[in-house]
Chain A
Amino acid sequence: MVTQRVDHKWGMVVDLDRCTGCQACVVACQSENNLPINTKDLFLQRRAYEWIRIERYWEGEFPDVKARFIPIMCQHCENAPCEPVCPVFATYHNDEGLNVQVYNRCVGTRYCANNCPYQVRFFNYWEPVWPERLRNHLNPDVTVRSRGIMEKCSFCIQRIRRAEVTVERRERSNLDYATMKKRNFLPACVSACPTNALNFADQADASGPVKEYFDDVNEHPHNEAHDRKTRGYRLLEEMGTKPNVIYLKKVDPFPLRKGVGHGS
Chain B
Amino acid sequence: MSADHEDILGAAAEWRRDGRGVALATVVTTWGSSPRPVGSQLVVDEAGAMLGSVSGGCIEGAVVSEAIEVIGDGKPRVLDFGVTNEQAWEVGLACGGKIQVFVEKVA
- The finding on whether chains A and B are genuine partners in a shared complex, rather than unrelated, reads no
